[in-house]
């Protein structure tokens, strides 16, 4: 389940320390760091449900997702109350780079580049110091830095969704409009609002054109306030839009994403965009173990991959489930 349990975790101090180390690796963002983030994620998952205080490296290694190196770190935390690795990894750039990565559209590489150029504060960026040029989206991200980095209560996500859904249905009553992401997982607060739009095609029509119209009307009504990423080709069945919205003039700005997909892919897309990312990874692994391949378009059989680079598909295979989540779950047993 997604919600934290009410029971007290006997290894909470260990989890907190590993999360801190994970955060540092996430900020550094090299390929190695990314692997470490994944591995600490797995370990923390296992630790959360482990019922008693860990007493040895050997015991720690029995926990799902905990390897030898992590087990040693766990015992270091338990025995000393600290983790030397955090001090070693927490170089002076980490705080600044973390700050910069809070700007919409800024990832580890840009944040490190700005740091290397001499930038240290958001004001340095606002004032164009050190010759740094911001993209339009980054400028908006900087302007609404606090709003964008504040999660909203799920009630507010619902209120905003309830404003937008009727506007969409006004445009076309046959639309399928669904809220996804953390809201659909039942989380108490949401980083953004993720909305899917699609439409059955049995009458020969599609949802093409709806998103552009909807965004226009939401802008007119002051619900959407800034665009961050606009689709390149409005005539595609599959589009992604990212922007900012607000419930009313007195509310904070909130991040909002719209996704349009072909109707036949809605189940796979719902599954993927509801997540979370760790759940998605396990689902893809489960599919792979059964000889299938799962992505946001569907579940595929007979995909042929390049043996020397598994990421490259030599044959897309045949789609065996995609319209509903139920059929995907069924095929995966």
Question: Contact positions toward Mn ion, by CB under 5 A?
Answer: 192, 194, 257
178 binds Mg ion (CB under 5 A): no
226 part of the interface to ligand DCP, by CB under 6 A: no
- Taking the complex as a whole, the smallest distance from the CB of residue 242 to Mg ion amounts, in Å, to 11
Angle between helices 266-274 and 277-289 (to 10 degrees): 130
- Is the CB of 190 or the CB of 210 nearer to ligand DCP? 190
Q: Calculate the CA dihedral of residues 60, 65, 68, 69 and round it to 10 degrees.
A: -110
Q: Which residue is nearest to Mn ion (CB)?
A: 257
Shortest approach of Mg ion to residue 275 CB, angstroms? 8
**Cβ at position 127, least distance to ligand DCP in Å:** 30
**Candidates 59-67, 76-84, 184-192, 229-237; binding stretch for Mg ion (CB under 5 A):** 184-192
Residue numbers annotated as active site: 73
Q: Does 249 bind ligand DCP (CB under 6 A)?
A: no
194 binding Mg ion? (CB under 5 A): yes
Length in residues, the chain: 333
Residue 101 touches ligand DCP, criterion: CB under 6 A: no
Nearer to Mn ion, 156 or 194 (CB): 194
Contacting ligand DCP within 158-197 (CB under 6 A) = 181-182, 190-192, 194
Query: Binding residues for Mg ion, how many (CB under 5 A)?
Result: 4
Collapsing DSSP to helix, strand or coil, 4 comes out as coil
Can residue 248 be called a binding residue for ligand DCP (CB under 6 A)? Answer: no
Neighbours of 256 (CB within 10 A): 24
Residues with Cβ within 8 Å of 288's Cβ and at least 6 positions away in sequence, in order, are 294
- Which sign does the torsion angle of CA 270, 274, 33, 101 carry? positive
Integer angstrom CA distances of residue 37 from 44, 72, 208? 10, 17, 39
d(CA 149, CA 290): 39
User: Counting contacts by CB under 6 A, is residue 276 touching ligand DCP?
Assistant: yes
CA atoms within 13 A on the CB side of 228: 25
Take residue 303 and report the two structure tokens written for it.
Answer: 């995909």
Cα 92 to chain centroid, rounded = 27
Q: Which of 100, 144, 258, 273 binds ligand DCP (CB under 6 A)?
A: 273
For Mg ion, which is the closer residue by CB, 112 or 254? 254
Q: Are 162 and 200 in contact (CB under 8 A)?
A: no
Q: Write out the residues near Mg ion by the rule CB under 5 A.
A: 181-182, 192, 194
């Amino acid at each position: 389940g997604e919600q934290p349990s009410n029971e007290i975790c006997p290894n909470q101090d260990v989890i907190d320390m590993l999360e801190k180390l994970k955060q540092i690796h996430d900020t550094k963002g090299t390929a190695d760091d990314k692997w470490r983030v994944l591995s600490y994620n797995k370990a923390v998952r296992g630790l959360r449900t482990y019922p008693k205080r860990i007493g040895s490296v050997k015991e720690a290694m029995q926990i799902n997702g905990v390897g030898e190196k992590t087990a040693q770190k766990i015992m270091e935390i338990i025995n000393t109350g600290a983790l030397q690795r955090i001090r070693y990894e927490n170089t002076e750039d980490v705080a600044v780079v973390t700050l910069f990565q809070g700007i919409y559209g800024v990832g580890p590489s840009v944040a490190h580049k700005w740091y290397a150029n001499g930038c240290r504060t958001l004001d340095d960026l606002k004032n164009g110091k050190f010759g740094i040029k911001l993209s339009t989206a980054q400028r908006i991200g900087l302007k609404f830095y606090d709003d964008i980095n504040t999660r909203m209560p799920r009630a507010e996500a619902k209120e905003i969704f309830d404003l937008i859904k009727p506007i969409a249905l006004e445009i076309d009553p046959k639309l399928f409009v669904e809220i996804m992401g953390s809201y659909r997982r039942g989380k108490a607060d949401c980083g953004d609002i993720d909305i899917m739009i699609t439409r059955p095609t049995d009458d020969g029509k599609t949802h093409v054109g709806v998103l552009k119209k909807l965004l226009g009307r939401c802008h007119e009504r002051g619900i959407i306030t800034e665009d961050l990423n606009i689709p390149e080709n409005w005539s595609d069945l599959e589009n992604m839009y990212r922007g900012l919205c607000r419930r009313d003039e007195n509310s904070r700005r909130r991040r909002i994403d719209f996704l349009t997909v072909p109707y036949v892919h809605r189940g796979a897309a719902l599954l993927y965009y509801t997540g979370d990312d760790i759940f998605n990874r396990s689902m893809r692994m489960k599919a792979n173990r059964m000889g299938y391949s799962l992505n946001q378009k569907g579940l595929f059989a007979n995909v042929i991959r390049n043996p020397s680079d598994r990421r490259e598909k030599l044959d897309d295979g045949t789609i065996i489930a995609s319209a509903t989540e139920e059929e995907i779950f069924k095929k995966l047993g």
